[in-house]
Amino acid sequence: MDKLDNGYRVLKIKEIIEETPTIKTFIFDWDMKEGKIPVPGQFIMIWSFNGVLDEKPMSISKIDTVKGEIAVTVKQLGEFTKHLHSLVVGDELGIRGPYGNGFKVHGENILVIGGGVGMAPVKCFGEYAKSLGKNVDFIIASITKDELLFFDELCSSFDVYSSTDDGTCGFKGFASHRLIDLLKSSSYDMAVVCGPEIMMKGIYDILEESGIPGQYSMERYMKCGIGICGQCCTDDTGWRVCVEGPVFSSTYIKEISEFGKYHRDSAGVKH
Ligand SMILES: Cc1cc2nc3c(=O)[nH]c(=O)nc-3n(C[C@H](O)[C@H](O)[C@H](O)COP(=O)(O)OP(=O)(O)OC[C@H]3O[C@@H](n4cnc5c(N)ncnc54)[C@H](O)[C@@H]3O)c2cc1C
Ligand code: FES
């Protein structure tokens, strides 16, 4: 990160898209002047000051430098995200960031793998890589067809391979099974991955065995988002996911002993 931008901006929600029964995208105007343009894979801290008082990290799911817009794509889980889902166009949120490192482009043939709302940062990267002339394929995974995030939108411009746990769209099974199948006929110079950590660990094992370098977007409980509180540090490296991550390449993720095994809650208790 070159320079931290700790200033809050209070931004009006410009547009809301209902993506799936549980996921919505919120679009904001964004000042795209030099030094302020986010990198795919970075996140912002969203502060809600009406209703539910809290602040949470959200990946940037869209960066449109022409229109001057960014978006976040939010799955409704608990109190905070339920509150976000209740907001309407014109409502205001406090936003600081972008933070974290982001994905890096490597090679010509790129595979993007996203599970559930984990599609948010990787879709943004896939679109960026395509704009640079790279060949980009997607594996999109979810529990069921209705929850396949960005499926229709991406199918018009990319080769998209879907997998659903219940077999309602595409391959019946997990993203890792779809990947094994795909690698029988395709090869890639790199892969970017985001989703539940158990899914990412399965994908990591397959990519390592296939010699494909991966970049993985990790989530850990965050408070400050800027490297001060130590809440998001990983065992045994001590790396702060909010600063040294959230994206870790295969070289680094193998050093994180808790990857795919456990994480800590807001009190630091292991789960
Ligand atoms: C770098 C990063 C990027 C993220 N990007 C997205 C995104 O694009 N879309 C999306 O829907 N979610 C994203 N999340 C997760 C999101 O921040 C949490 O799901 C959200 O805070 C849940 O809040 P809640 O009150 O609705 O649910 P709660 O009931 O409070 O929590 C549900 C679960 O969300 C996680 N969570 C809660 N608070 C935090 C926190 N402060 N930091 C990290 N995880 C937390 C915990 O695993 C918790 O068990 C991201 C998290 C991180 C760390
Ligand atoms: S959230 Fe405070 S150091 Fe990462």
Kindly state if the Cβ of 222 falls inside 6 Å of ligand 2: yes
In whole angstroms, give the CA distance from residue 237 to residue 115.
26
- Stretch 109-130: mean pLDDT, rounded? 98
Distance (angstroms) between ligand 1 centre and the Cα of 204 equals 22
Q: Which residue has the tokens 């901006």?
A: 9
- Stretch 236-255: mean pLDDT, rounded? 97
Kindly state if the Cβ of 224 falls inside 6 Å of ligand 2: yes
Using an 8 Å Cβ cutoff, are 172 and 164 in contact?
yes
Residue 212 has pLDDT above 90, yes or no: yes
Residue closest to 261 by CA, chosen among 200, 183, 203, 179: 200
Reported confidence tier of residue 6, pLDDT bands at 50, 70, 90: low
Q: Say what percent of the chain tops pLDDT 90.
A: 93
Atom 14 of ligand 1, residue of closest alpha carbon: 58
Reported confidence tier of residue 4, pLDDT bands at 50, 70, 90: low
Distance (angstroms) between ligand 2 centre and the Cα of 21 equals 31
Structural domains of the chain sorted by starting position, each given as residue range(s) with its CATH number in brackets: 9-99 (2.40.30.10), 109-217 (3.40.50.80)
Ligand nearest to the CA of 241: 2
Q: What is the pLDDT of residues 152-190, one digit of tens each?
A: 999 999 999 999 999 999 999 999 999 999 999 999 999
- Stretch 216-233: mean pLDDT, rounded? 97
This prediction's pTM: 0.96
Max distance between CA atoms of the chain, in angstroms, equals 51
Q: How far apart are the first and last CA of the chain?
A: 30
User: Quick one: pLDDT at residue 72?
Assistant: 98
Pocket of ligand 1 (CB under 6 A): 43, 56-59, 72-75, 77-81, 117, 120, 219-222, 246
Residue 2 has pLDDT above 50, yes or no: no
Atom of ligand 2 nearest to the CA of 229: 2
Residue 1 has pLDDT above 80, yes or no: no
Estimate to the nearest angstrom the gap between the alpha carbon of 58 and the chain centroid. 8
In the chain, which ranges are continuous DSSP H helix?
79-86, 119-131, 151-155, 175-182, 197-210, 250-253
Q: What is the pLDDT of residues 36-67, one digit of tens each?
A: 799 999 999 999 988 788 999 999 999 999 99
User: Quick one: pLDDT at residue 214?
Assistant: 98
Q: What is the pLDDT of residues 62-92, one digit of tens each?
A: 999 999 999 999 999 999 999 999 999 999 9
User: Quick one: pLDDT at residue 271?
Assistant: 95
Atom 28 of ligand 1, residue of closest alpha carbon: 78
Burial grade of 235 (CB within 10 A; 0-12, 13-18, 19 or more)? middle
Phi, psi of 153 (to 5 degrees): -60, -45
Cα distances (angstroms) measured from residue 268 to each of 47, 81, 271: 22, 22, 9
Reported confidence tier of residue 98, pLDDT bands at 50, 70, 90: very high
